[in-house]
Each structure stands twice: as C-alpha cells, then as structure tokens.
Amino acid sequence: MAQGMIEVERKFVPGPGTEERLQELGGSLEHQITFRDIYYDTPELTLMQSDHWLRQREGSGWELKCPGAVGVSGAHTKYVELTSDPAIVARLCQVLEAEELGSGGVAAVLSPLGLQEVASFVTKRSSWKLMFSGADEDEEPLLKVDLDTADFGYTVGEVEALVREEAEVPSALEKIQSLSKMLGVPAHEKAPAKLIVYLQRFRPQDYQRLLQAHTTGEKPQGTEHPDNHLG
C-alpha cells in the first residue's frame, strides 16, 4: 500500500451466507492466507490509549495505524496507515515523546522506546474484492472484504476502501455503507476487532486499563462500549 493512504473501514460479524452473497454481488475471491500478527506497546499501553496500533505481520512487515481526521462517526472508522520504517519510527517518537532515534528501523527502536509484545495470534483470512457497477477502477477504489478467523476462535469481517485524499472519504463511506447493507449487516452494528477481543480474553487487566483510560479522556475510534472496538 502506498505510504500515507487513508483506510476507511467497517467491521462486522459475518454470517454463514456472507461469501455466497459476495459472489452474487460480483465479488471475486483474491486469496486465502494464514498469518501471524504481533502487536507491540508500552506496559502502560501508551500507544493504544492514544489510538495508535503498532503491528508486525508475518510476511508483510511493520505497520502503524494512526487516527484519521475527526468527523467520521457511526460504525465506520478512518485511519492513516504508515508502512515505511522511517515514518513509523518518527511517529512513535512523537507519540511517546522521545528523542529521534535515527534510521535503525522499527525493530531497533523497540527496546529504547520501552515497547514490548502485548498480543500474538494467527489469522486465517479470505480476501474478496468487488467494484460497484459502472465504476472506473482507475478512479474509484476497489472495495475489499476480509473474512478473518483467529486461532482463539473469533471470527470478524471487514469492509475496507483505501483513498488518497480526505475529500474522497465521504464517497468511500457511502460505498462501504451500501455494501454493508447488501451483505445484511445491521446499520449500527460495531463488531470488535481481533486485538481487542484477544486482550479482553487473555489480558483482562490491560483491557480494563484501556476502558478506564477512555472514560476520563478522548476515546479512540471504536472504544465507545466494551463490545465495540477497533484496533
């Protein structure tokens, strides 16, 4: 993905007929893969509390999700994804209020920044793509639908569009909302992300730390309710 692209997404709970419905709508199965995600944060979860999510994905490298601009409400969320080491390191130093640590890469700054592994799990993913009829692929982004099953028994789906400019976000939101409706997703459904469910099940103290922090300050996107999270 190009550096600094804006990810607009909505998570949902897939049903037994979701893949069949995607086929009916003209979707095509791109691939099925299995991968491990490892998330890193400080012992106090400083990144997550500021709505930043640092992940190393098997086969893909490092990614830092950062909060997008305000103004996205409802079941949708918007993030900027950083995927180059220099950009990630610079943002980490900014969020953690640390001095610039040079160009040694993300792995080299984990220890100096006090970052440690907080979650690790394997996901089986089926990735679908589809284009609304009449759309020009050169001008209109494909909609992507990922159907994930984590190795701790949780299944979640995600409808996603990637755009280059803030001005494109409203159109992307409209397309995501339309597709979600066609997939039978309730209008206000907010499915938890895999990471948050992992913390809730296996690191309940960290999960409670996030909830408590968000009751006294600005809440990261998707943490409005214990059952509705994004990460």
Q: Is 160 annotated as a binding residue?
A: yes
Q: Is 7 annotated as a binding residue?
A: yes
Q: Is 91 annotated as a binding residue?
A: no
Rounded (10°) angle between helices 204-216 and 194-202:
120
Q: Is 20 annotated as a binding residue?
A: no
Residue 52 CB contacts under 8 Å (≥ 6 apart), including other chains: 64, 65, 66, 67, 91, 92, 95
Q: Is 55 annotated as a binding residue?
A: yes
Q: Is 78 annotated as a binding residue?
A: no
Residue with tokens 């909609």: 143
Q: Is 36 annotated as a binding residue?
A: no
3 state SS for the chain = CCCCCEEEEEEECCCCCHHHHHHHCCCEEEEEEEEEEEEEECCCCHHHHCCCEEEEECCCEEEEEEECCCCCCCCCEEEEEECCHHHHHHHHHHHCCCCCCCCCCHHHHCCCCCCEEEEEEEEEEEEEEECCCCCCCCCCCCEEEEEEEECCCCEEEEEEEEECCHHHHHHHHHHHHHHHHHCCCCCCCCCCCHHHHHHHHHCHHHHHHHHHHHHHCCCCCCCCECCECCC
Q: Is 37 annotated as a binding residue?
A: no
CA 95 and chain centroid, separation: 18
Q: Is 11 annotated as a binding residue?
A: yes
Q: Is 124 annotated as a binding residue?
A: no
Most distant CA pair in the chain: distance in Å? 53
Q: Is 146 annotated as a binding residue?
A: yes
Annotated binding site: 7, 9, 11, 55, 57, 65, 125, 146, 158, 160, 194
Annotated binding site for substrate: 11, 55, 57, 65, 125, 158, 194
Q: Would you list which residues are annotated within the binding site for Mg(2+)?
A: 7, 9, 146, 158, 160
